[in-house]
Structure 1
Amino acid sequence: MKNILLTISYDGTEFCGWQRQPEQRSVQGEVERALSQVCGQPIQINGTSRTDAGVHAYGQRASFAADFRIPVEKIPVAANGLLAASGKDRGRNHGGDVVILKAQEMPEDFHARFSAKGKKYTYRITNSEKAEPFLRNYRYHIYKPMNIEAMKQAASFVAGMHDFKCFQAAGGKVMESTVRTVYGIRVSEVGDDIRLEIIGDGFLYNMVRIIAGTLADVGLGRKQPEEMKAIIAGKDRRKAGHTAPPQGLYLSEVFFEKDRLLEAAAAIEPQED
């Protein structure tokens, strides 16, 4: 029995989300269908993050255990051919919108979800008076000018260990604890592109999108940067900002080693002027 870890990238636009759903197209379902053909048996994968409809991933991770003949390193090539063919069947000449980047064998007790030490998410906003139609599925477009320095100041209050109940949307799994640690957070700007990067040991349902929406409200002057401290301390979802739309959110990386998590967090910490 081999225990396999996959690294998966996908465009979430046409998916109902990561998780398999009856009569709906999911990332998990597409990958399982391809792997089942490649391995010659039914395959079920366990993903680290259950991303919502419209959310994208640069580095989703998933694992499965099975006996099969194909060399592990050949799994991506074989599965990606089937995934691309599925995309063409749906009328996309460019092929599939999900790709397996890597497959590697792991120890027997490894699990993509339970072995994870943390994740990095990126949220991207286009701040411009003019709409960009080609980015409509990949950015949150805000037309009014935003105060980036105010957003940076507000973001600094998110770092550390807090009870983040204020950033949890209704409808998700009921958690035993809403305390999480944000190891690193950065707001940066390049031209019209505003980017939020955040690394934590775990995230509540819609937590990153609500943080992004709250920071957007700060950038638009609807909230003051210092209010972020009271919002977190109040543990009241109604006090936080709006939930930013899904298309701006990307699962960037999953960490299975604490040292790598801390290294990545240090890399996005703002530098002193």
Structure 2
Amino acid sequence: MTNFKLVIQYDGGRYNGWQRLGNTDNTIQGKIERVLSEMTGHAVEIHGAGRTDAGVHAAGQVASFKINTAMQPDEIRDYLNHYLPQDIGILSCESMPERFHARLTPSSKHYTYRLWCSKLPNVFERRYLTLWDKPLDLDAMRKAADLLCGTHDFRAFSSVNRRFQKSTVRTIDSITITSNGGEVRLDFRGNGFLYHMVRILTGTLVEIGAGERDPDSILRAFASQNRQDAGITMPPQGLILTQIQYPGCR
């Protein structure tokens, strides 16, 4: 049995997220598993590195699966791209060591959140941007972002269920905030992110940039571990899972 790794991009706008759900087949995982199962003649389960929410996109999602096949990785890639919907694309397929697991072994994850802060429309990229019509103090946002970096308990910056989440401690390596024309982009890099965490971190920073909250509210949220002390949950369409990295892999 061969262990395979896929690198996947998708427009999540019309899907109910990555994870296969019992009440719908309209998920990214479900679509890929269906095509792989038809290819092999038996049920195939794949494991994704990030369980993106409904409406969230990916430029570099990673998934792994094990099958018995004589097909070469490029043939599997081409088969998937032929039968998958056009808003899901397989960038690469390669065989991996037995112990590789897309969800369990990443060393870092990179998410990007894109804001459109111009009064002018952005017709061709509107599906991948969140509109924000208030002025933003980017310097204030960058100073606040420094408070979020490092190893912390991010329970207040997530929508996790306390009964099912064993640990809410995560490490954020960097948060980079850049501006280009009408777009403000926030790039988050860390060892892992909780449910809704990037969208809530973005909402907190945006509220600080708009003067609606003070940077010290981040410290209060860390101390209280109360979701109400953090910012809003930003809409999903501006969020992109940009890249997953693994030890020893480029």
Please indicate the TM-score interval, normalised by the length of the shorter structure.
over 0.9
Matches within 5 A, 1:202-221: 202-221=192-211
Give every structure 1 segment of 4 or more consecutive aligned residues whose post-TM-superposition deviation is greater than 4 Å: 170-173
Query: How many residue pairs were aligned?
Result: 249
Q: What residue identity is the alignment partner of 1:101?
A: L
Aligned partners of 1:77 and 1:172: how far apart in 2? 42
Once the two structures are TM-superposed, the CA of residue 172 in structure 1 deviates from its matched residue by: 8.1
The answer as to whether partners of 1:7 and 1:59 remain within 8 angstroms in 2 is yes
The answer as to whether partners of 2:25 and 2:31 remain within 8 angstroms in 1 is no
Partner SS, residue 137 of structure 1? helix
Once the two structures are TM-superposed, the CA of residue 171 in structure 1 deviates from its matched residue by: 4.9
Summarize the Cα distance change of 1:57–1:36 in structure 2 as closer, same or farther, 3 Å threshold: same
Q: Which residue of 1 aligns with 2:96?
A: 106
Matches within 5 A, 1:1-273: 1-21=1-21, 22-83=23-84, 87=85, 96-171=86-161, 174-257=164-247
Percent of residue pairs bearing the same amino acid type = 41
The answer as to whether partners of 1:12 and 1:56 remain within 8 angstroms in 2 is yes
Once the two structures are TM-superposed, the CA of residue 137 in structure 1 deviates from its matched residue by: 2.1
Aligned partners of 1:183 and 1:168: how far apart in 2? 18
Once the two structures are TM-superposed, the CA of residue 259 in structure 1 deviates from its matched residue by: 8.7
Let me know the Cα RMSD of the aligned residues: 1.8
CA deviations on 1:51-76 (whole Å, 9 max, x unpaired) are 10000001111111110121122211
Aligned partners of 2:6 and 2:101: how far apart in 1? 11
Q: What residue identity is the alignment partner of 2:192?
A: G
Aligned partners of 2:163 and 2:128: how far apart in 1? 26
Q: What residue identity is the alignment partner of 2:38?
A: Q
Summarize the Cα distance change of 1:113–1:173 in structure 2 as closer, same or farther, 3 Å threshold: farther
Q: What residue identity is the alignment partner of 1:49?
A: G
The answer as to whether partners of 1:40 and 1:68 remain within 8 angstroms in 2 is no
TM-score, normalisation: structure 1: 0.86
Q: What residue identity is the alignment partner of 1:28?
A: Q
Once the two structures are TM-superposed, the CA of residue 166 in structure 1 deviates from its matched residue by: 1.1
Aligned partners of 2:107 and 2:164: how far apart in 1? 20
Unaligned runs of 5+ residues in structure 1 are 88-95, 261-273
The answer as to whether partners of 2:217 and 2:230 remain within 8 angstroms in 1 is no
TM-score, normalisation: structure 2: 0.93
The answer as to whether partners of 1:164 and 1:178 remain within 8 angstroms in 2 is yes
